[in-house]
Structure 1
Amino acid sequence: MLTLLPAPARAQDNLDVAAAGRSVVRVVVVAMESGEPQGIGTGSGVAVAPDKILTNAHVVSDAADGDAIIGVVPSEGSKRFTGRLIAYQPQRDLALIELTDGTVEPATIATGPVPDGAAVAAIGYPYSVDRARELSAEGVVTPQAPVKSWGRVSGGQSSQRFDTVLHDAAIGRGNSGGPLVDSCGRVVGINSFVSNSEGVDAVFAFAVSVKEIIPFLRAAGVKPHTTALPCRTSAEQAAIDERLARSEDERAQADRTRAAFAEERLDARREQVRDSILAERDNGLAIAGLLLVFGAAFVNGALVLLAKDDRRLALGAGAAGLVLMAGAPIAWVARPDLDQADTRLAAQAPKPAQPQASAEGRYACRIDLERSRITISDPQDVALDWGPDGCEEGNTPFAAQDERWVRADVSSHDGVAQVRRFDPATSRYTVERYFLPADTLSAARALQAKYPAKTCSPDSARMAGQMTQALRDLLPPAPNERLVYACDHVQNGAAVK
């Protein structure tokens, strides 16, 4: 039976969908007549801007047709907000609410195609769960985490009224207006209605597709955050990482093999040079011997000529003999030493390549899309200004860790924490991004406030290491995104690989 159950999500994908839940809200509509409440309806919605909530038109039809109060209950925190209807298109079953107070973390919309069979999750507040939990009226308007149900895209069938995504994730009344997200947590539709099974057939759900959502938001003057990058699951990224690591190992092994072969060739060349030196030493010995023999012969000849009273020739022969005999020790001393082999090899070797630039300096860093797992961020290149002792931009200290520089910090304007690493040996810059819920974000910011150092000094680097360790203990087990950059050192305005 377990093999028949859908299991599209791995741990990492669950983290991404959990992060998407920050943008989901409960929409409560109270119909009013003569100042008195006449009925209450609930649905779901998703933030497409900090103060804009996208939902279904049928969820807020009372507000469109008459007097009604719209309440928006976020998924986290302790506050609830009020809103007003600013756009309404029943032909697309879409509506837009503007918050009159408060903000909600906006979601990202995936504008690329949704593959058939892709894993998706419906996020919202189904009434059946509220009823099973015996949730009171006060509980309904109290912030709480939305319900998430997994399924798969079930083909290209679409509604006749508007373009939809057909899927089999479980939804019910109350899910209307809530997002359908992919395994990366990006919105791929707004859940609208289900098929009528009459209690005997399988139930399928229809979500208003992005093809309808984007024109609707554009007409309302809203520019949501979108991405066209395909969703790469954690399993797919793990397979890519394994392949890249295997490729790097193979290259490293090939480099080691080439180095060993080069060492063998060097040893053989060293033996050739030693043989040449030995031959030169033998030649020098032979030359010294010949000089002695010929020098002695000339001296003897000079003595014979002197005995014959031929002083002029005797002096010439004697001088020549002495010169030859004096050259013998010179030839002996001039013989090369055996330890000159390495010196000659170094002189014959090609000029070595220039050493790589030091870690200090400016870097142009290009995003490596294959090594990166990007869910919602814009894949843009970055620049680094790396100072001595692991200081970036002259005011951001990093801590040394495993021959790399590392720093964790929390954004002051959105719900993101990140761990950044720079490896001088490979010139690789890595940014791991964590999308935090409100309680974890609050704790992380309070912790970061205890480490306010913004200068470059040994004490600041030590403090950065303490802050990094403390923050990492708060973060989820895996990041939602990993951005990997290949960096080139910039010299005189040009990148040096």
Structure 2
Amino acid sequence: MLIAAVLTLPTPAHAQDNLDVAAAGRSVVRVVVVAMQEGEPQAIGTGSGVAVAPDRILTNAHVVADAAEGDAIIGVVPSEGSKRFTGKLIAYQPQRDLALIQLVDGRVEPATIATGPVPDGAAVAALGYPYSVDRARELSAEGFVTPAAPVKSWGHVSGGASSQRFDTVLHDAAIGRGNSGGPLVDSCGRVVGINSFVSNSEGVDAVFAFAVSVKEIVPFLRSAGVHPHTTGLPCRTSAEQATIDERLARSEDARAEQERMRAATAGERLSARRQKLRDQILGERDKGLAIAALLLVFGAMFVNGAFVLLSRDDRRLALAAGAAGVLLMVGAPIAWAARPDLDQADLRLATEARKASTQASAEGRYACRIDLERSRITVSDPQDTRLDWGANGCASGDTAFAPDDDRFVRADVSPREAVAAIRRFDPATLRYTVERYFLPADTLGAARALQAKYPARSCSAEGARMTGELTRAVRDLLPPAPNERLVYSCGHVQDGAATR
């Protein structure tokens, strides 16, 4: 019965949250410390760590105690790739159980630290290399220094008291020897603590774990001259974001219905406008007919006058009157022919529509504000952006986008970060979206190789075609969902002010 109850408990994370925690694993390393005496290895200890800068690894002080108190070699084994690195101890505070290792060679993707409060009951995951798992796998000596993904165990934050020695986060995620120094992350993959020790259950009570909290981590790093990437944004789980998206979708459906009603009303207005233009054209035709008749009448009068003057031998005035009469009579058929046709009503409507379309064109400069409600932000700094959009689907004059239904899309792979982005712009809604994927090393390498095949994507039809091909190819490599979705609402920039 108890087993059944356990099996029916809700899982602490959804698929999206697992993707975020998996991405955080890129920053986790195994720390191997080999104690030396007179040039000979005496003991080997292992723990875990997390990159807080490309060449800085944060771990527990007790993991590297041999290096701090004597002669020892520190090895750092990343979670991906094929290389292992050498490190040296540069900061050590046993009172906080924190230590900092500098990589002599190599680079590791740094993690983001969440500086906001950790809610009681929040889902968390411990990442690291527990010795019990290594032993069960019968890991060889070579296996300890071979890159491998960290073990992830889920749990929840408990509202229990902190440690007396330093500020800690109490949680029930399973950790053991070897997890020391590894990160405790939230559902968004941000570091909320460094796992340090567990409670003594004596085989009877439930085991709880203690992680050094961010209140200790950030001051320690800053005192060591390291300024890690931090965020104070709360972690919005995938379930919470899905609820928000559903509510926003209902709101958009309601607005779409209103648009349909407005379109029906606009159709009625269009019919009324067409009838008004037809009436106007009828008036113009009647006016043209009247002008033609007047020209004929006055032309005939002048010609008749010319004959009268000619009979009186006033040849000069007769010629002038005759010429004027002929001109007037010639102008009559011209005025008749110049009358507008009735079918010009639709042509005038089309001209008005083109003018309105030109005025409402998506082409132009935009100020795009981040929409925090629609966005799911885990590690990025939520900042507004600018978009200089061309009518041919080109941004900033040199960045080609590819048509995608009624929107434009583009894929980019960062040359510096392990990130791929899918960017979209919808000219109808003026909504700009950036989906960010945090990629493991093998996927990143494949994505960069694809991008290298399309080095020049100019703002042209060929550039748009190449952009579309690259975007489709990169999409096939990406995980099923992005780690972040940044949504911007854009407005035209006019005289320094943004307008919708």
Q: 2:108 aligns with which of 82, 92, 104?
A: 104
Q: Residues 136 and 6 (structure 1 numbering): CA distance in 2 closer, same or farther, change over 3 Å?
A: farther
| Aligned partner letter, 2:448 | R
Q: CA deviation at 1:205?
A: 0.4
Match of 1:447 in 2: 450
| Aligned partner letter, 2:44 | I
- The reply on whether 1:389 has 2:419 as its aligned counterpart is no
Q: CA deviation at 1:3?
A: 4.4
- The reply on whether 1:90 has 2:94 as its aligned counterpart is yes
Q: Tell me, yes or no, if the aligned pair for 1:6 and 1:151 is still in contact at 8 Å.
A: no
CA offset digits 1:212-249 (Å, max 9, x no partner):
10111111110000000000011111110110010111
Match of 1:282 in 2: none
TM-score normalised by structure 1 residue count = 0.81
SS at match of 1:169: coil
Identity %: 81
Q: Tell me, yes or no, if the aligned pair for 2:366 and 2:388 is still in contact at 8 Å.
A: yes
Match of 2:492 in 1: 489
CA offset digits 1:443-475 (Å, max 9, x no partner):
110111111123211111101000000010001
SS at match of 1:447: helix
CA distance in 2 between counterparts of 1:259 and 1:467 reads 37
SS at match of 2:148: coil
CA offset digits 1:159-192 (Å, max 9, x no partner):
0111100001000000000000000000000000
Match of 2:32 in 1: 28
Q: Tell me, yes or no, if the aligned pair for 1:357 and 1:489 is still in contact at 8 Å.
A: no
Match of 1:151 in 2: 155
| Aligned partner letter, 2:184 | L
- The reply on whether 1:162 has 2:189 as its aligned counterpart is no
Q: 1:367 aligns with which of 366, 370, 389?
A: 370
CA distance in 1 between counterparts of 2:224 and 2:273 reads 78
Q: CA deviation at 1:154?
A: 1.2
Q: CA deviation at 1:358?
A: 1.4
| Aligned partner letter, 1:209 | S
Describe how 1:22-421 pairs up with structure 2 within 5 A.
22-257=26-261, 260=264, 356-421=359-424
CA offset digits 1:294-349 (Å, max 9, x no partner):
xxxxxxxxxxxxxxxxxxxxxxxxxxxxxxxxxxxxxxxxxxxxx9xx99xx9xxx
| Aligned partner letter, 2:80 | E
Q: Tell me, yes or no, if the aligned pair for 2:457 and 2:466 is still in contact at 8 Å.
A: no
Unpaired runs of 5+ residues, structure 1, are 274-338, 347-351
Q: Residues 260 and 103 (structure 1 numbering): CA distance in 2 closer, same or farther, change over 3 Å?
A: same
| Aligned partner letter, 2:210 | F
CA distance in 2 between counterparts of 1:478 and 1:60 reads 38
CA distance in 2 between counterparts of 1:477 and 1:44 reads 29
CA distance in 2 between counterparts of 1:240 and 1:495 reads 27
CA distance in 2 between counterparts of 1:201 and 1:86 reads 38
Match of 1:469 in 2: 472
Q: Residues 426 and 130 (structure 1 numbering): CA distance in 2 closer, same or farther, change over 3 Å?
A: same
CA distance in 2 between counterparts of 1:400 and 1:20 reads 33
CA distance in 2 between counterparts of 1:101 and 1:354 reads 58
CA distance in 2 between counterparts of 1:233 and 1:174 reads 28
Q: CA deviation at 1:388?
A: 3.0
Q: CA deviation at 1:492?
A: 3.6
TM-score normalised by structure 2 residue count = 0.81
Q: Residues 261 and 21 (structure 1 numbering): CA distance in 2 closer, same or farther, change over 3 Å?
A: same
SS at match of 2:164: coil
CA distance in 1 between counterparts of 2:147 and 2:246 reads 41
Q: Residues 259 and 460 (structure 1 numbering): CA distance in 2 closer, same or farther, change over 3 Å?
A: closer
Match of 1:289 in 2: none
Match of 2:430 in 1: 427
CA distance in 1 between counterparts of 2:254 and 2:417 reads 41
Q: Residues 196 and 404 (structure 1 numbering): CA distance in 2 closer, same or farther, change over 3 Å?
A: same
CA distance in 2 between counterparts of 1:267 and 1:439 reads 60
Structure having the higher Rg: 1
Match of 1:11 in 2: 15
Unpaired runs of 5+ residues, structure 2, are 277-341, 350-354
Q: Residues 447 and 106 (structure 1 numbering): CA distance in 2 closer, same or farther, change over 3 Å?
A: same
SS at match of 1:20: helix
CA distance in 1 between counterparts of 2:258 and 2:456 reads 45
CA distance in 1 between counterparts of 2:156 and 2:176 reads 16
What is the Cα-based RMSD across aligned positions, in Å? 2.5
Q: CA deviation at 1:403?
A: 1.1
Aligned residues: 425
Q: CA deviation at 1:391?
A: 1.2
Q: Tell me, yes or no, if the aligned pair for 2:34 and 2:45 is still in contact at 8 Å.
A: yes
Runs of 4+ in 1 over 6 A off after TM superposition: 261-271, 352-355
CA distance in 2 between counterparts of 1:4 and 1:84 reads 47
